[in-house]
């Protein structure tokens, strides 16, 4: 007989305070059926929905509830509790607990364990649709994902509060499947692959103190680098100046100009995957002034521009070092699909993710994106989603493509 999928795995299940907490009871049984040892932390809010007694009976273990319990600390300190597990699983992950995780708060046993752990963390969000869509929650989720926290769901559906939309927790079998996939290594389908991602704006010097730039935030490119690294790719992020922190598990090369970006890209070759998400300045000064340009009371200076190298086109060009998959972005204000197709022809890249950046789209600097995925024979409209979800979807598609799945 085959061994159950989770034999020998230790899961620390953190049950937070949401209506979906009752599903964690079934989850404990299903995880244990698959061979996992499940130890539970119940938050104060969680205990309003499920009793410590049921949790303890189902897990056949003690339930941990309080940070300052002397007996608990004597038997099993909170640091050890967080590290004894192979995976920390937060079900349901409420808006509140994810906000605390993103902020690094350690106000109770659950958040302290989450902050103290050196093990993978998976969150399974469940909340009202407005709470899920709130900019604060989306920003917190993005922060957690950039730090490598795994996420399952939420999905669209009816909610306990009577509303309909995104925020509903995935079903228990889906959580067990995600946990199993994590342990099976399915979460590392890009292991052994090299990836490079350009991100952010470029700065083109006018003189020693002034420059030409654009409003790119780097959020999309950074999220893609995090997603590729999350799937196991050895990832180099070549980033123009942004306000974003460097990503854990990603090699970040900071550059300013398009020409520097090109040099850094060359240095990152060979690479299996190249994603050009940077908003590279099309032009730079024909000749950069060595000294600060002065007002002389007469005519303003003549800023003669010259074209920058096209990095995407350069990387897509034929040769032994061409990455197996080169992906570009197209920011369009009209005829999104047709213009993106023309761009594939012109630049010889493999895929284009085209987005509408017309002034009312909110893409620049925002957290959401509406993408058209385009390659030689497909044009697919993706629903509006967060930039982290775009990144996850793209990374999964890249993994499937390189591993020969349709």
- Residues of this chain that bind ligand C5P (CB under 6 A): 198, 258, 276-278, 280, 308, 310-312, 328-330
User: Shortest approach of ligand C5P to residue 401 CB, angstroms?
Assistant: 18
User: Shortest approach of ligand C5P to residue 209 CB, angstroms?
Assistant: 24
User: Shortest approach of ligand C5P to residue 208 CB, angstroms?
Assistant: 23
User: Shortest approach of ligand C5P to residue 373 CB, angstroms?
Assistant: 14
Nearer to ligand C5P, 13 or 278 (CB): 278
Nearer to ligand C5P, 188 or 214 (CB): 214
Nearer to ligand C5P, 50 or 336 (CB): 336
Please say if 161 is a catalytic residue. Answer: yes
Nearer to ligand C5P, 58 or 277 (CB): 277
User: Shortest approach of ligand C5P to residue 258 CB, angstroms?
Assistant: 5
Nearer to ligand C5P, 153 or 201 (CB): 201
8 A C-beta contact, residue 201 and residue 216:
yes
User: Shortest approach of ligand C5P to residue 282 CB, angstroms?
Assistant: 6
Q: Which of 40, 161, 265, 276 is catalytic?
A: 161
Active site amino acids: 161
């Amino acid at each position: 007989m085959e061994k159950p999928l989770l034999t020998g795995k230790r899961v620390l299940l953190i049950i937070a305070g949401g209506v979906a907490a009752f599903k964690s009871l079934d989850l404990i049984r299903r995880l244990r059926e698959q061979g996992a040892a499940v130890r539970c932390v119940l938050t104060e809010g969680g205990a309003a929905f499920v009793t410590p007694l049921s949790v303890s009976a189902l897990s056949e273990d003690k339930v941990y509830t309080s940070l300052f319990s002397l007996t608990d600390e004597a038997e099993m300190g909170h640091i050890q509790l967080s590290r004894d597990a192979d995976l920390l699983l937060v079900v349901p992950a409420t808006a509140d607990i994810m906000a605390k995780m993103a902020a690094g708060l350690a106000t109770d046993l659950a958040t302290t364990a989450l902050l103290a752990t050196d093990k993978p963390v998976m969150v399974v969000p469940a909340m009202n649709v407005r709470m899920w869509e709130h900019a604060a929650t989306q920003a917190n989720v993005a922060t957690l994902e950039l730090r490598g926290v795994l996420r399952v769901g939420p999905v669209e559906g009816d909610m306990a509060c009577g509303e309909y939309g995104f925020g509903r927790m995935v079903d228990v079998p889906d959580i067990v499947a995600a946990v199993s996939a994590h342990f099976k290594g399915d979460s590392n389908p890009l292991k052994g692959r090299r990836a490079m991602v350009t991100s952010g704006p470029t700065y083109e010097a006018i003189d020693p103190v002034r420059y030409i730039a654009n409003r790119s935030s780097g959020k999309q490119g950074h999220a893609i680098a995090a997603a590729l690294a999350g799937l196991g790719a050895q990832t180099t992020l070549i980033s123009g100046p942004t306000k974003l922190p460097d990503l854990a598990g990603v090699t970040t090369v900071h550059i300013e100009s398009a020409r520097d970006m090109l040099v850094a890209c060359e240095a990152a070759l060979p690479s299996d995957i190249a994603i050009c998400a940077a908003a590279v300045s099309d032009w730079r000064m024909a000749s950069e002034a060595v000294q600060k340009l002065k007002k002389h009371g007469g005519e303003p200076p003549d800023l003669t521009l010259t074209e920058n190298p096209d990095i995407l086109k350069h990387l897509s060009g034929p040769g032994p070092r061409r990455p197996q998959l080169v992906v570009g972005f197209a920011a369009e204000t009209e005829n999104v699909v047709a213009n993106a197709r023309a761009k594939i022809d012109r630049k010889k890249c493999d895929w284009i993710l085209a987005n509408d950046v017309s002034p009312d789209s909110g893409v620049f600097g925002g957290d959401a994106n509406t993408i058209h995925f385009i390659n030689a024979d497909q044009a697919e409209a993706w629903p509006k989603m967060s930039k982290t979800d775009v990144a996850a979807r793209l990374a999964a598609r890249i993994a499937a493509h390189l591993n020969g799945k349709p």
